[in-house]
Amino acid sequence: MTVLKDPGVFHDDGERDRRRNHDRVRQQIAERLRDQVGDEELITAGPEHTIRVPVTGQRDWRFVFDRQRQQGVGQSDGVGEGDVIDLGGPNGEGQPGGEGAGEGGGGGEVTYEVELDMDEVEQHLFEQLGLPRLAPRGLQQERTEHIFFDDRARKGPLLDKKATIRANLKRNAQAGKAGIGDFERDDLRYLTFREQLRPASQAVVFLVMDVSGSMGQFERRIARLFFWWATRFLRHRYTTTEVVFIAHHSEAIECDEHQFFSIVDAGGTRCSSAYALLLEVQRKRYPVADWNIFVAHCSDGDNWDDDNGQLIELLTETAEVANLVGYCQIERSTRYHWSGEHLLGILTRADIPNVVCHSVGADTEVWAALRAIFSPDDAEVLT
Amino acid sequence: MSRPYDLAELQRLDDECRAAAAGLGLDVPEVVFHLAPAERIYDIAARGLPGRYPHWRFGQDYERMKLDHDHGRSRIYELVLNTKPYQAYLLEGNSWVAQLLVMAHVYGHCWFFENNGHFAGVDRRFLPRVRAGADRIEAYCRRHGRAEVEDFVDAVQAVALHAPLRLVTARRSAPPPAPEPGRYDDLFPDETAAAHRAHEAEVAAWRDRVPREPDPDLLGFLLRHAPRLDDWERDVIAIIREEATYFAPQRRTKIANEGFACWIHSQIINGLQLETAEFMEYNRLNAEVTQPHPLSVNPYNLGLALWQEVERIHDRPTPEEAERFPVAGDPALSGRDRVLELAATVDDAALVASYLTPGVCDRCHLFAWERQSSTRLRCTATEADEVRDALVAQLRHMEVPTLEVVDADAFRTGGLWLAHRQEGVGLDPLFAANTLPLVARLWGRRVYVETVAHRPEGLRPVWYRCGPGDRQADTLTIAPAS
């Protein structure tokens, strides 16, 4: 009689309930995700990337007949009376009675997969991190505490019509057409809300990396993972976050992101140079009164012995202006021998306030380092 | 190569299907087709009806179906709602042939919904009620907390299948009959007086008993009699019970309905002029849909075979069949008319009971099985008679054990006594022990279930007992005394 095009996209009950279900298995999802933090593919794949994690959900309890005495009728060619059919594994796929996941093996649980996009992955992960040791900073401590419909995302509970139209206009303009029309899925923007304590101000994060010859492929990969997640996390928490890249060997330079990860220098290592530059940049561009300052430093732990004294001095000075300094030492068990003492030991002994140190020896330990540095335990947990 | 199509083309296909269905002598009701994206279709498939109340379980099913779809593991080809007008969904991105197949199939379903007597009581304007119910549940979520409402909905869903086929289920109960006055009563005044006293006591007990007759409508009983429910909780039960009642006839007529729709779509499509490649694709899709499953019956496959058998028996009965089916071979009625006539009345159990002949049993490779262990089945029969008995038994109860409310004041402490009455098979202990706490949550006091269990020495009675707040029910092998 009539064929209509369903406006489909304006009904997102399925999406809403999917999120509800994720809420129920939040704990499990977060646990599974922690292992994935060390997965480089996750950070290179872009925002459209999705990952799947297995979770265990509760059974659909209801009254059923004794499953040990179950009888039924099936269809199969060549089965004769008295034949025994093996269903394979204990959770064999073809469970009779076929009501889906309700049936299954012997336990009280069913396993299924959930799919998450990067927004959701970050949301799940960053819930477990906090911003510790935030010293009060005048005006910057003004915080807002309420539910905001503040974020625009490609999916969410509430369609943002204005933003959707704007996105559509933009896309049409890019295609050389003026005007609104031909809405596509890409155009849709949603408001997502969260209940949050939010620093109402801006943050700058200094990424400091040792680029001397002793930093090999492995060290650089870990550093990259660590920096990526640390920056993502701070971006997630602050309205504006600026990033300053400082690469150092025996001297330090400020550079852009591309250079930062590609410079290789054969020289030795003098960490104090990085902090001297950092302080200079900070004084010039990021006054303490206006900025929350974070420092993330990755190194393999080598430093010239005669530099350690100056390093401690500069680091102490940095720690006074910064909200938090995270030092992440990347050490592989099979690394070559270094005669001097590692920075980790020296810094731990110095015990400077606002400086947190952690070591990472494998991909899977990146999360532990992030968690140690952005520890929610002794901080106000912003959730 | 698949033919491209747009809305106008689909409209043309629809008109053709409709004309073809009318040509087959079907009086086809109005159908609205929606061309919708996968998200929309899987959302409706997960919740059964569009706009149903929010619940995490629908989200879980939705995600599972959508993942399967995204990874090419499964596709829902048809989705039709039994409402006025009938609404059906076409999945965007399906091929031209697939859309044609779905449309032709949907016309079969709609005729079945329209004419089959089991759907006579269904409210065809149900969707607005579903939405209104969902809005109310959403409001309760805001007022009483989402987690609390969802947990309550979980508990109700656990027994949602124990809903009746009709919403109004007045069960008549008459007091026990008085003893017949005998001619010689006055010769035995003491005995007569004793009989009258006994009768009065019986009547008094009958009057006090709640429910007066065992009541299989567990949800309805809880709705009316559960002592500790809030108004919103009763409303949630009523909403879910109403929805379960809406779905009940669909569960009862799965094989008959799907088989009939396949029977119709093959006739419609055979009447259209398809190109060879398209016809090949049609055959491939058809084979996919009617693919038999080793452990259960594919309703499309068996249903189609059964309706074809109905037609054949009418048109070309064997002498034995002519004797068994009196109308078979009646020239006043064609085989196809006979199918339509039967399709207006049967449910699965009736159709299978009458028409699962040895021919159908062979063609569909049916066999009966019983479980030996959690991973092994044993084939118990391939003979039509035994397979038919097994299948009919299964279709009668539709995998839902019959539970009756026997006493709502067990041990005079307000306990709810449920009896499971089924010949020869008990409740699953694990599921019973975990479902009963949910019933206790609804009733608010102790709940008992009386059933049987398989022991090495044979079938033995067993009881489950659970109080509100218990995590698992106790299993008792002697009758509970409190």
Tell me, what's the pLDDT at A94? 39
Which residue of chain B is at minimal alpha-carbon distance from A104?
B374
Contacting residues of A for B299, CB less than 8 Å apart: none
∠ CA B96-B273-B78 to the nearest 5 degrees?
35
Q: A81–B382: do the CB atoms touch at under 8 Å?
A: yes
Pair A276, A312: CB distance under 8 Å: no
Whether A1 sits inside 8 A of B59 (CB atoms) is no
Q: Which residue has better confidence, A182 or B301?
A: B301
Structure pTM?
A: 0.79
B369-374 contacts at long range (C-beta below 8 A, 24 or more positions apart):
B369/A71, B369/A72, B369/A73, B369/A74, B369/A85, B369/A96, B369/B295, B370/A69, B370/A70, B370/A71, B370/A72, B371/A67, B371/A68, B371/A69, B371/A70, B371/A71, B371/A96, B372/A84, B373/A68, B374/A67, B374/A68, B374/A90, B374/A105, B374/A106
User: Would you state the pLDDT for residue B465?
Assistant: 95
Give the type of residue at B218. Answer: L
Chain-chain contact of A74 with B296 (C-beta, under 8 angstroms): yes
Whole-number pLDDT of residue A215: 80
Residues 99 to 138 of A: which have CB under 8 A from any B CB? Answer: 99-101, 105-106, 108, 112-115
CB of A147 less than 8 A from some CB of B? no
Residue A173, pLDDT > 50, answer yes
Tokens 């303009």 identify what position?
Answer: A173
Q: Indicate the burial class of A147 (C-beta count within 10 angstroms; 0-12, 13-18, 19 or more).
A: exposed
Reduced to 3 states, what is the DSSP secondary structure of residue B220? helix
The candidate with the shortest Cα–Cα distance to B155, out of B61, B222, B216, B210, is B222
| Contact between B399 and A1 using a beta-carbon 8 Å cutoff | no
Cα gap B352→B384, rounded to integer Å: 11
Q: How far apart are CA B106 and CA B81, in angstroms?
A: 10
CATH 3.30.70.100 for domain A200-373, yes or no, is: no
Nearest-CA neighbor of B59 among B77, B40, B46, B48?
Answer: B46
A176 touches chain B (CB under 8 A): no
Pairwise CA distance, residues A161 & A86, whole Å: 55
A49 in contact with B, Cβ within 8 Å: no
* Amino acid identity at A305: D
Q: How far is B112 from chain A (nearest CA, A)?
A: 17
pLDDT score of B442: 95
In this complex, do A14 and B33 lie within 8 Å of one another by their Cβ atoms? no
pLDDT score of B131 = 92
Q: Which amino acid is at B324?
A: R
Question: What is the Cα–Cα distance from B333 to B338, expressed in whole angstroms?
Answer: 7
Q: How far is B398 from chain A (nearest CA, A)?
A: 10
Instruction: Give one word for B137, left, alpha or beta, with left for phi > 0 and alpha for psi -120 to 50.
Output: alpha
Q: Render A164-221 in DSSP notation, one character per residue.
A: HHHHHHHHHHHTT--SS----GGG--EEEEEEEEEESSEEEEEEEEE-STT--HHHHH
User: What value does the mean pLDDT take over residues A137-160?
Assistant: 60
**Taking CA A41 as the corner, what is the angle to CA A38 and CA A44, rounded to the nearest 5 degrees?**
110
pLDDT of residue B449: 95
A71-91 pLDDT, tens digit per residue, is 889 888 888 888 888 876 544
Contact in structure between B420 and B402 (CB atoms under 8 Å): yes
Cα B14 from Cα B9, distance rounded (Å): 9
Check if the beta carbon of residue B38 is closer than 8 Å to that of residue B45: no
What confidence tens digit (pLDDT) does each residue in B104-132 have? 999 999 999 999 999 988 888 999 999 99
What does the pLDDT read at residue B93?
84
Residue A164 phi/psi, 5-degree rounding, is: -65, -45
Q: Do the beta carbons of residue A329 and residue A343 sit within 8 Å?
A: yes
From the list B301, B377, B387, the residue facing A87 with the nearest CB is B377
* B420 CA: distance to closest CA in chain A (Å): 10
Can you spell out the DSSP letters for B182-204?
PTTGGG-HHHHHHHHHHHHHHHH
pLDDT confidence of residue B112: 95
DSSP A45-113: S-TT-EEEEEEEEE------B-GGG-EEEEE-TT--TT-EEE--STT-S--TT--GGGS-SSSSEEEEE
Of B31, B379, B403, the CB nearest to A85: B379
* Nearest 10 degrees: Cα torsion A361, A364, A369, A374: 170
**Which are the contacts of B276, defined by CB distance < 8 A and separation ≥ 6?**
none
Q: What is the distance in angstroms between the Cα of A52 and the nearest Cα belonging to chain B?
A: 10
Amino acid type, B447: V
pLDDT single digits (tens) A239-296: 778 889 999 888 888 988 888 888 877 777 888 889 999 999 999 988 888 788 889 9
- Look at residue A372 and tell me whether its pLDDT is greater than 70: yes
| Tokens read off for A316 | 């102490």
Answer for the pair A132, A379: CB distance below 8 angstroms, yes or no.
yes
- A199, pLDDT greater than 60: no
User: Best of A63, A84, A103 to disrupt the B interface by mutation (most B CBs within 10 Å)?
Assistant: A63
- Mean predicted confidence (pLDDT) in A206-226: 85
Helix (H) or strand (E) run with residue A242 in it: strand A240-248
What φ, ψ does residue A174 adopt, rounded to 5°? -65, -30
Amino acid at B437: P
CA distance B147 to B166: 31
Residue A196 pLDDT greater than 80, yes or no: no
Q: Which of B35, B375, B453 sits opposite A86 (nearest CB)?
A: B375
| Residue A96 pLDDT level (bands cut at 50, 70, 90) | very low
Quote the pLDDT of residue B110.
94
The Cα–Cα gap between B475 and B478 comes to: 9
Structure tokens at B274: 């398809």
| Strand pairing category for B415-420 and B447-455 | parallel
pLDDT along chain B (482 residues), means of 10: 83 92 88 89 89 90 85 75 91 89 94 93 90 94 92 94 76 85 87 92 90 90 93 96 92 94 93 89 88 86 95 90 84 89 94 94 91 83 92 88 92 93 85 94 94 88 93 91 83
Report whether B185 contacts B376 (CB < 8 A): no
Nearest 5 degrees, angle CA A236-CA A240-CA A244?
95
Domain ranges of chain A: 1-58+109-128, 143-197, 200-373
* Chain A nearest-CA residue for B393: A72
Closest residue to A75, CB basis, from B10, B297, B432: B297
Q: Are B476 and B464 in contact (CB under 8 A)?
A: yes
* Residue A300 scores a pLDDT above 50: yes
Question: A1 vs A4, which has greater pLDDT?
Answer: A4
Q: Rounded to a whole number, what is the largest CA-CA distance in chain A?
A: 88
Specify the DSSP element, H or E, that contains B33: strand B31-36
Strands A2-5 and B31-36: parallel
Query: What pLDDT does residue A148 have?
Result: 57
A81 CB within 8 Å of a chain B CB: yes
**A197, A143 Cβ separation under 8 angstroms:** yes
B63/A115 touch (CB, cutoff 8 Å), yes or no: yes
Mean pLDDT, residues A354-359: 84
Whether B294 contacts A94, CB under 8 Å = yes
Contacts of A106 in chain B (CB under 8 A): 374, 430
Contact A87 B50 (CB under 8 A): no
Identity of residue B280: M
A88 CB neighbour count, 10 Å cutoff: 9
* Residue B234 DSSP one-character state: H
| Alpha-carbon gap: A7 to the closest alpha carbon of chain B (Å) | 7
Q: Is the peptide bond before B211 cis (omega within 30 degrees of 0)?
A: yes
Of B76 and A67, which is predicted with more confidence?
A67
What's residue B94's pLDDT? 87
Every domain of chain B and the residues it spans: 7-116+253-288, 290-397, 403-476
What is the helix (H) or strand (E) element at residue B147, kind and residue range?
Answer: helix B146-158
| A5 with B35: Cβ contact below 8 A | yes
* C-alpha separations of A101 from A88, A112, A158, B78, B371 in Å: 17, 8, 30, 21, 19
How would DSSP label each residue in B295-355? SS--HHHHHHHHHHHHHHHHHS--HHHHHHSTTTT-TTS-HHHHHHHHHTT--HHHHHHHH
Residue B62 · residue B55 · CB < 8 Å: no
Q: How far is A228 from chain B (nearest CA, A)?
A: 29
Q: Is A186 on the interface with B (CB under 8 A)?
A: no
Locate B118 and state its tokens: 């089991």
